[in-house]
Amino acid sequence: MAAVALLVACASPSPSPTPSPSATPTLSPSPTATPIPPVSFPLAVVTGLTNLKATITLDELVTLARRGQLVMPCGVTLTQPDLAAIGPCVAADQVVTKLRSDQELVALLPPGLVEPATKVLPIAGDGPFGLFGPDLFGDPEARALPYPIVGSAPADGPAALDPAWTAYDASQTWNLTAIGSLCADRIAAYYAVIQGKGWDWPFNGGTATYTGGPFLNPNPPVGISRYPIVQPVETGNDGVTASVSRRADVALADHKCPILPTANWAPNETGPPSLAVPEDVLSRWQGFLGLDAVYLAADHQSDRGVFGIQSTVELLDKHGFPHTGVGMNLDQALEPAYVEVAGLKVAFVSWNEVTGPVHAGPTTPGVAWLTEANVDGALAKARAGGADLVICDPQWWGGDEYHPDLWASQQAAVGWMDQAGCDQIVGGGLHVSGGLFLRQQPDGVSLIDAGPGNYMYGQAWWQETQEGVILDMTFRGKTLANVRLHPYVMILSARAALTDPEGDGHYVLERIWKAAELDY
């Protein structure tokens, strides 16, 4: 029986094990990636550098979009304003090329791609000719205004844009204006002092228009041929011309003559030029022009002898104006003028090659002469002084006055400046608005402006000496990002008044573009 029981037990199947609750498999949901929101950024409105158009309204943008004439960067969605249509899509990094081939086009562009070949159009403001509206690359007040054009793009994936293209850092954006030749003697002094208008008057110009086209000067000065001139009339807006430089982060001027104590000064009315201005004008430089630095290596700085040079240096120091180019010896004349902006230390250095003034020497008062050794010496001082950016300011003729191009000796001097390390070159002394020259350098685009023109210097006998421009350069840190020109004309040969860039301002702008070399 025991054996049978054993056989039965061995033949019976074993019961199936019951899985424990802990062994029951559970299904977990698949992880879901958190979507990355699109990148949002302002879009600059840009056009060709030589386009006379200077500002744009939102209504104009709507019209361009509706007509399919607003160029849009591919991969960017316009989120503000709401436009019914846009226009052709162009790869974002090819918009510049598109504008170079057609200067009249208007495009939207991520701010990191703005460069000197793309002139930024501010949104039109309440100022004359649409000035002072929202502007990503304008003066501090314009940059602070709410900006109405915004786009977005995917943050990752094949359609994402390079983050450097969409980046915009307002704290690193700053602008520099240069007004050109300044010496308020002769005609400006005649109206301010002899006619009793006061010193505010020359510095408080508004806007102007012409009564007609250019005509031959009926009464040129003795020894001057008959050249075309224009007849400007003021149209109000007192103070607006000076406000262009006053509103800038940095305002620069080319001052061409000595500054004397007011008690030692009298206006030049007759005879050969022996120019000077009184200390009284310095408060107008501050209150109207907002000047931050002046370069002084000019042909009339020896007109009042050693006393005039010493007085100039002492009065500028007294009123807190950084200056360069003239001194009681060569070491002082080569000393840079420094301005701090956007976390940078910017240096200005200057030399002269126009005949007339005394050359500064080791113990001789005078102007820094434009030689290779002096260029090297001034740049060495600037770098030793901690300059992050150096703006070089030659006073030059190249052999003669009144030409917008660069002659052989000027080109040689540019070679010295490039070799020494000048970042940008803003010249003076030609008495006309010179050409604009853009060159590609390893660290960005380098500009040469042959000279903005006569801001306050007289010479009413030729249209080209009556008219000038305020040079307006915008930087992204140390990199030149944009260039714009504000045209003006002299009223009674004594005070500058802005002209409409698309109106009477076209004369001086088109002369500049004719002499320019912009294909960097």
| Between residues 320 and 35, the one the model is more confident about | 320
Of the residues 153, 168, 183, the one at which a domain ends: 168
Regarding beta strands 293-295 and 323-324, do their DSSP bridges make them parallel or antiparallel, or are they unpaired? parallel
Cα-Cα-Cα-Cα torsion 483, 489, 491, 494, nearest 10 degrees, comes to: 60
pLDDT value at 331 more than 50: yes
Our count of domains for the chain comes to 2
**Residue 255 within a domain:** yes
What pLDDT shows up at residue 371? 98
Same domain, 108 and 137: yes
Q: 432 lies in a domain?
A: yes
Q: How many CB atoms lie within 10 A of CB 334?
A: 26
Rounded average pLDDT over 493-513 = 97
The Cα 507–Cα 406 span in angstroms is 20
State mean pLDDT over 233-241.
98
Residue 346 has pLDDT above 50, yes or no: yes
Q: Which amino acid is it at 137?
A: F
Per-residue pLDDT for 362 more than 90?
A: yes
Alpha-carbon distances of 362 from 332, 355, 359, 384, rounded to whole Å = 9, 20, 10, 20
- Three-class secondary structure of residue 109 per DSSP: strand
- Do β-strands 215-216 and 228-229 pair in parallel, antiparallel, or remain unpaired? antiparallel
Of 105, 136, 168, at which residue does a domain stop?
Answer: 168
> Does residue 203 share a domain with residue 97?
no
pLDDT at 45: 98
- The residues near 67 (Cβ < 8 Å, ≥ 6 apart) are 87
Average pLDDT over residues 422-440: 96
Q: Of 152, 168, 184, which residue constitutes the final position of a domain?
A: 168
**What digits encode the pLDDT tens for the residues 433-484?**
999 999 999 999 999 999 999 999 988 899 999 999 999 999 999 999 999 9
178 and 125 share one domain: no
Residue 385 domain flag: yes
The contacts of residue 272 (CB under 8 Å, 6+ apart) are none
**Which pLDDT does position 33 carry in this prediction?**
63
The string of DSSP letters for 65-87 reads HHTT-EEEETT-EEEES--S---
Nearest in space to 465 (alpha carbons), one of 407, 515, 401: 401
Residues 127, 190 within the same domain: no
Q: Where are the alpha helices (DSSP H) in 220-298?
A: 240-246, 280-284
- Identify whether residues 195 and 158 lie together within a single domain: no
d(CA 185, CA 125): 35
> Considering the entire predicted model, what is its pTM?
0.92
Mean pLDDT of all residues belonging to the chain:
93
pLDDT of residue 271: 65
Q: Could you tell me the pLDDT band of residue 269, with boundaries at 50, 70 and 90?
A: confident
For residue range 197-210, what is the model confidence (pLDDT) as tens digits? 999 999 999 999 99
The whole-number pLDDT of residue 185 equals: 95
Residues 469 and 328 grouped into a single domain: yes
Q: What is the pLDDT of residue 36?
A: 86
Percent of the chain with pLDDT over 70: 93
Q: Clarify whether residues 193 and 86 are in a common domain.
A: no
Q: By residue range, what is the domain housing residue 89?
A: 39-168
Contact 133, 122 (CB under 8 A): yes
Same domain, 75 and 122: yes
pLDDT at 136 over 80: yes
What's the count of helices (H) and strands (E) in the chain, helices before strands?
A: 14, 30
How far apart (Å, rounded) are the C-alpha atoms in residues 162 and 113? 10
* 3-class DSSP state of 407: coil
Average pLDDT over residues 320-334: 98
Tell me what pLDDT residue 88 has: 81
With bands split at pLDDT 50, 70 and 90, how would you rate the model's confidence at 15? very low
State percent of the chain over pLDDT 90: 87
Say yes or no: 78 and 185 in one domain.
Answer: no
Assigned token pair, 194: 């002899």
Q: What's the CATH code of the domain at 147?
A: 3.40.190
Q: Phi then psi for 27, rounded to 5 degrees?
A: -100, 120
